[in-house]
Amino acid sequence: MSKRAERKARRAEKIKGEVRTAAIIALAGVVFLALGCVGIAQNASQYRACQDPANLRTVTAVATYVEIRSVRGEYDYLETVWDAQLQYTVDGAEFQDKLRLDEPMEKGEEMEIEVCRVGGGYRVPRIRTRDDLFAASLIPAIGSAVGLGLAVIGGVVAADGRKKLREGKR
């Protein structure tokens, strides 16, 4: 094999490697895009479900576990919060959920909470207002945008590499 043919073969292998890498990047971008879209759809679904008064119930919940934490507040000062694992019954079925409280609570203590029917169960609503919906959908939207960018860049680079391979065979 001549040196020219060897260089041509090495160049073709290099381009094939670039095409594979670009295809993997494009595939990762499509996965990010899909996951972001699913996250946005789930947030919107939960928001709509919790806006319907027929899906809301007020129940008595019992704290099964309480953890006291210090977290940074709005103006960067420490504030004490109580992270409680709550157990409650709706229509004979038992459910568990977590809730962050600003007021002291102890294990075994009861409290009234509002729960929302989401999917097949009842949960404490996390997305109550449009601002909450916007904030909850921000990360999935950024993930979708990054995924779209990766998919486009990977697709363009892969198409360019395939074009170079076709031209090299002539």
Q: Would you mind telling me the total number of residues written for the chain in this entry?
A: 170
> Are residues 130 and 48 in contact, defined by beta-carbon separation less than 8 angstroms?
no
Q: Please classify residue 117 by burial: count the beta carbons closer than 10 Å to its beta carbon, then call 0-12 exposed, 13-18 middle and 19+ buried.
A: middle
Total Cβ atoms within 10 A of residue 132: 16
> Are residues 22 and 154 in contact, defined by beta-carbon separation less than 8 angstroms?
yes
Does the model's pTM come out above 0.75? no
Distance between CA atoms of residues 44 and 147, nearest Å: 20
CA neighbor of 115 nearest in space, from 62, 57, 155 = 57
Summarised one tens digit per residue, pLDDT across range 69-123 is 888 877 888 888 899 999 999 988 899 989 888 888 889 999 998 999 887 788 8
Distance between CA atoms of residues 155 and 162, nearest Å: 10
Summarised one tens digit per residue, pLDDT across range 110-160 is 999 899 988 778 888 888 788 888 888 899 999 999 999 999 999 998 888
Which helix (DSSP H) or strand (DSSP E) does residue 145 occupy?
helix 130-169
Residue 19: pLDDT band (50, 70, 90) is: confident
Q: List residues bridging with 58 in a β-sheet.
A: 114
